[in-house]
């Protein structure tokens, strides 16, 4: 029961550290994003591509880990979300396209992109990594680059945060994340916290 609760907190956007509950945050500093990309690229191509898809699509890790080679060969990545059962289709831009092309070279269409040693789901080699493995990959990369309050949702939140800063299109982001209110999306991607911090910069008693 306890292990299940810890997993729920991690994947749901909360982390437990020393008894405190902290919201998982987006990676706001683009220099940190680039540092993590570089860190992963020189250590493990699989982990680098996983991160690249996460921050460039906004997909949940639970959907990303089931992607196959065939799924990423076109101009878009198209998925049916496991959580909502809704269709999501995101265009692949240049940097992600190059990372994917290099990674899938020589692989068969049916192969999963992100495989590990586990056989617990299918009983055969080549099945997708689980969410806990993805969390470990991301959290180590983040810690080693001075980023805290991290979780697998941080990739999704990082996408949303920088998408909003660039486009200011909150309606489109709400649709992508299946949120019913702007305030939910703004809180989810950390913009409300930014606004509070900015207001506090000019406030002191």
Q: What is the pLDDT of residues 62-74, one digit of tens each?
A: 999 999 999 999 9
Does residue 8 have a pLDDT over 80? no
Residue carrying the six token digits 């690249």: 52
**Which CA distances in Å does 111 have to 106, 138, 176?**
11, 23, 27
Backbone torsions φ then ψ of 45, nearest 5 degrees: -60, -40
The predicted model scores a pTM of 0.84
Selection from 138, 111, 135 nearest residue 125 by Cα: 111
User: What structural domains and CATH numbers belong to the chain?
Assistant: 17-197 (1.10.443.10)
Could you give the residue numbers annotated as active site? Answer: 60, 83, 153, 156, 179, 188
Q: What is the pLDDT of residues 19-32, one digit of tens each?
A: 333 578 999 999 99
């Amino acid at each position: 029961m306890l292990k299940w609760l810890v997993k729920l907190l991690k994947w749901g956007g909360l982390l437990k550290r020393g008894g405190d509950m902290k919201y998982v945050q987006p990676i706001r500093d683009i220099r940190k994003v680039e540092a993590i990309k570089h860190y992963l690229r020189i250590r493990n191509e699989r982990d680098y591509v996983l991160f690249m898809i996460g921050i460039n699509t906004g997909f949940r890790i639970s959907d990303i880990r089931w992607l196959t080679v065939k799924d990423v060969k076109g101009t878009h990545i198209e998925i049916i979300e496991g959580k909502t059962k809704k269709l999501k289709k995101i265009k692949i831009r240049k940097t992600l396209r190059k990372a994917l092309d290099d990674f899938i070279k020589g692989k068969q269409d049916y192969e999963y992109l992100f495989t590990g040693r586990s056989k617990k789901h299918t009983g055969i080699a080549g099945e997708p990594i689980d969410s806990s493995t993805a969390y470990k990959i991301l959290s180590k990369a983040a810690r080693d680059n001075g980023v805290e309050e991290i979780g697998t949702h941080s990739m999704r939140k990082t996408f949303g945060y920088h998408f909003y800063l660039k486009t200011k299109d909150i309606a489109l982001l709400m649709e992508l994340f299946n949120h019913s209110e702007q305030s939910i999306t703004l809180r989810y991607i950390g913009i409300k916290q930014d606004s509070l911090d900015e207001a506090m910069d000019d406030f002191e008693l």
